[in-house]
Structure 1
Amino acid sequence: MTSKKMTTLIRLARRTRTKFLSLLFPCPFPWTQNDLQYIPDDSSSQQGLCGEALVLASQLDSKTFRLPNLWEVFSEWPLKENPHVKRLEGLVNSMLERIVTNERKLKALKQANFARLISLWYPDAEWPELEIATAYSVWIFVWDDEVDAGDTDVSHDEELSRAYYQKSLDTIHHLLGLDTQGQKFVDEKQALHPNMVLFTDAARGIRSAADRIQRERFYHELEHFMIQVGVEHSHRMRGSIPTVEKYLEIRSGSVGCAPQIAITDLMLKVRLPESIMESAPMKGLWKETVIICLILNDIYSAQKEIAQASLLNLVPVMFKNCNPEKQSLDLVTHGIEETLRTTMRRFEEAATALSGMASHDVQLDKDVQAFIKWCRYFITGVLQWSLESKRYGMAECLHDDGSLSIVL
């Protein structure tokens, strides 16, 4: 069969499947466009890469990305571990065993040590709240890997991925008790993927502890997360590399930090008034927290993601957008340090403004300070865990002075 005929058959099969999926999901996600459909050609066979991503991968191959000891930047921010960390290890492993059947994946996920991360994120939380946070955190890692890991049908097919997002969102909306039109599920655990079973545990706790406004805020952040995961996935499938500004916009959603921030008041067992939650300083605090976390996540996961044929990462994106005459990874490092310091300054400005809004009320001020402190815990937890976790393998790149040399 000729290549032209094969391509025609592939297109016909995709159109048939698109029509079928449109009957199942009549309200497609915003990025559903025919021009996003990708027909692989011979050049994309190398590690699943194509287009700009393929060229970029060859430019970065075996280059060394150097990072300073970033703990020097965050030296004044708190880091603390929850005393329930050992108990959390057993909980995380039991949750992973419930939803991951592939032995290789299960082993890798266990070695990631999510219990350590959760204990750093919520150092002062009590066990009932930790159970909710753990169910949610483990779920979102596994859910996201289904799209990003590059070894599933969903990760290689945009139509399947859109169905995955839509069915997941429908299930989340139902489990959070937000249905308004009497939508019926035969069983609470019905979902596109078995990992949604774990979200049932998180949603049950959130539903009992949060009011409708809090649950709607959480849902909308998850919806935005899934939309941006889809946009990121489309870029990956086409091999296109966005500008740094556009990438940061996409990644601010797809990194998945905002939904985690949305359940912070539950974890702290406080209820900040909407005048605080919807204020400009609070939105600024969220934004800068997310950006700092995405920077940390991207720089420490760059090696892993490139190995998985994903060039949608801040390090390759900044390298691609460098002036061709000055293009180097040292320039990328400088740009990351500068962006990180600017973002931290804006974080502190937002925190100061938020504190000013609460200064008239002793209890409100206490609750706001707890929220701000948690954002710092969230960031330092990401930093410490990323350096330790076998998920990224940074221990092998670490020097005695805390700096890193990462071979891409």
Structure 2
Amino acid sequence: MARSEPGTRRLEPQRHGIASFVMPEFYAPFPLERNPHLREASRRMWEWIGAMGLAPTEKAQARMRATGADLSGSYVWPRADLDLLATGLRWLALTFRIDDQIDEDDQDDRLAERAAVIADLRGILHGHPPVVGSVVTRALTQLWQETAKGRAEDWQRTFIGHFEAWLDSYSTEARLKTARRPPQLHEYLEWRRYSVGMPWLWDLGELTLPTLVPETIRECRPMRELRHAAALHIALVNDVYSVNRELLVGYPCNAVLIIQQQHSRSPQEAVDAVADQVADQVRVFQCARTALERELDKQDVSVGSRTAATAYAETCAANIRGQIAWHSQVRRYDIDDFRRASGSEPLASYPDDLLLRPSEGAVRETTL
């Protein structure tokens, strides 16, 4: 069974309400690190959420509390100073809300509106004003301007690329849902390493380092493999924890569901197969980490650049371990809020202020 961290809510062993299975023990042979500035950074995050109007209702606030964006960030950036951690927590709070509204709250499958939102959010990163104003687009505009100010162009380019890949995953999933074609596991994993969001979070983490990772190292093959393996490890763990909630909202892009449906596996067999994939990612990560050391020798980088690259890899390893701890402690993937909802009560957690209907605001013409 998966081990609980000190002071956490035990989720194992137990039977889950819809897909019945016992939680496996996820392989993650790395140290657990958590940022000591969590309490103050969390206070700042909630102050910003209130100032931006991101959680204006009791239900929205409850969803944000259940998500534990602040706790997640303490594991994502375990060595960040207070200011950077507080900035990171704002990014997480905002993007968790975007994820909820696009993947969970939109029960009407407003695909054109989704595409318009994604185009709007992408445009903000390139300095364009949003076509449709909302609390989300205003928050992203402010946050990106603050984060990008004074940053190196190659770092901004990398961050934007990873953030756009995260946004684009919603379009990919929408196309498949429209075509009523579930993805094959191998193609799902190709975009899942971006849809989990970790690559751009680690780009933010680079800002904790005295020296940024050189672009030749950041984009070399061992570093890409290391980053992809760590992201997939976290994504697959997430798929197991989130499967029952995603079953309830009819969200098909989940490795457990894909394996179960396409290979005629029981829920337990599918979960165990995903756990095996998780272990595979550890082995890929460790091989890539060794190859990265050879690449650093080959490129003959400076001491500072080597230290930055090594610290980046260490942070990814800590994230592999830390995100298991986060999943085991938060209530983000519980289904109690759905069970409590009456037949007339909408399931949506947030006000419908992101996926605006055409009559409610200009919708940018775009194609999924």
Report TM bin, short chain: 0.7 to 0.9
Unaligned runs of 5+ in 2: 1-15, 337-368
Structure with bigger RCO (C-alpha 8 Å, 6+ apart): 2
SS in 1 for 2:21: strand
**Which of 186, 193, 197 in structure 2 is aligned with 1:256?**
197
CA distance in 2, matches of 1:191, 1:267: 34
Q: Following superposition of structure 1 onto structure 2, how do residues 326-341 of structure 1 map, counting pairs within 5 Å? A: 327-341=265-279
Q: Following superposition of structure 1 onto structure 2, how do residues 6-405 of structure 1 map, counting pairs within 5 Å? A: 62-70=18-26, 73-74=27-28, 76-97=29-50, 98=52, 99-151=54-106, 156-174=109-127, 185=129, 191-322=132-263, 324=264, 327-359=265-297, 361-393=302-334
SS in 2 for 1:80: coil
Query: Structure 1: which amino acid aligns with 2:277?
Result: T
Superposed CA deviations along residues 242-299 of structure 1, whole A, max 9, x for unmatched, are: 1111221232232222221222311334212122112111111111111111101111
Distance 1:386 1:333, change over 3 A: same
State the percentage of identical aligned residues: 20
Unaligned runs of 5+ in 1: 1-59, 175-182, 396-408
Deviation of 1:237 (Å) = 4.5
Contact 2:237 2:275 in 1 (8 A): no
Deviation of 1:63 (Å) = 3.6
Contact 1:171 1:191 in 2 (8 A): no
TM-score by length of 2: 0.79
SS in 1 for 2:207: helix
CA distance in 2, matches of 1:370, 1:290: 16
CA distance in 1, matches of 2:213, 2:19: 47
CA distance in 1, matches of 2:77, 2:176: 34
Query: Structure 1: which amino acid aligns with 2:318?
Result: Y
RMSD (Å), alpha carbons = 2.4
CA distance in 1, matches of 2:17, 2:260: 12
SS in 2 for 1:66: coil
Superposed CA deviations along residues 203-256 of structure 1, whole A, max 9, x for unmatched, are: 233222521111111111122222221111233345431111122123223222
CA distance in 2, matches of 1:112, 1:224: 22
Contact 2:234 2:323 in 1 (8 A): yes
Contact 2:289 2:313 in 1 (8 A): yes
Partner of 1:404: none
CA distance in 2, matches of 1:278, 1:312: 28
Superposed CA deviations along residues 28-53 of structure 1, whole A, max 9, x for unmatched, are: xxxxxxxxxxxxxxxxxxxxxxxxxx
SS in 1 for 2:35: coil
Tell me the matched-pair count. Answer: 316
Distance 1:296 1:341, change over 3 A: same
TM-score by length of 1: 0.72
Contact 1:93 1:110 in 2 (8 A): no
Query: Structure 2: which amino acid aligns with 1:85?
Result: L
Deviation of 1:193 (Å) = 2.9
Deviation of 1:371 (Å) = 0.6
Superposed CA deviations along residues 81-120 of structure 1, whole A, max 9, x for unmatched, are: 2111111221222233322223312221123221111112
Contact 2:63 2:332 in 1 (8 A): yes
CA distance in 2, matches of 1:209, 1:119: 25
Contact 1:232 1:254 in 2 (8 A): no
Partner of 1:180: none
Query: Structure 1: which amino acid aligns with 2:102?
Result: V
